Each structure stands twice: as structure tokens, then as C-alpha cells.
Amino acid sequence: MADIETLKLRVQQLAERAWDVPVLEAGVKKLTKEGIPRKTLNEHVVFGRNMDPGASQANMAAFAEAKGFQKCGLAAGIGARLAAGFMIDSME
């Protein structure tokens, strides 16, 4: 957590900033009128092919053929779980 002096400095910097008020007001009016756009999750694009190498010998062969080990240094499934977590958090 940031210390109080760092926060005070940041508040001062923001207070001194030259804000483009008409642009900010237009953005607020648009969000008020249209609402905040929701992000959608396209699972195929995000996760690509489901290649669980531990599920079967055929999956392991397909994973190795697709150079899955070279493309991801994490244990199987961890990268997808991390990515999903980041995306879900950004949608909230």
C-alpha cells in the first residue's frame, strides 16, 4: 500500500493537471446515455484449441506436434487459467 506522502503528491499532481473538460464531459454523457459497454469472452479466440496433454496419448501427441511445450513454459492449463482470471477481473 502506498504511503500517505506518495498519495498526497499524486493528488497534487492531478490537481495541477490541465484537464480537457469538454472531452471528459462528452465521455460522461455518452456513458450515461449508452451505459458502460460490456466485454464479451470469445473462448475459441482466447484459449485456442483445447489440448489437455494429460487426457490421453493422442492429446499428448497432438500437443507435442503443435509445439505446445515450446509455446508455453507453464504447466498445462495454468496459462489459460491465468489468462481467464485476468480477463474476468477486467470485465468486473
Domains of the chain, by residue range, sit at 4-34, 43-91
16-55 residue pLDDT tens: 999 999 999 999 999 899 988 777 655 544 445 566 777 7
Residue 87, CA distances (Å) to 25, 48, 60, 83 in order:
28, 15, 27, 6
Task: Quote the pTM value.
Answer: 0.34
Q: Write down the pLDDT at residue 45.
A: 46
Instruction: Write the DSSP string, 40-83.
Output: ---HHHHH-S---TTT-HHHHHHHHHTTHHHH--SPTTHHHHHH
What residues contact residue 90 under an 8 Å CB cut-off, 6+ apart? 39
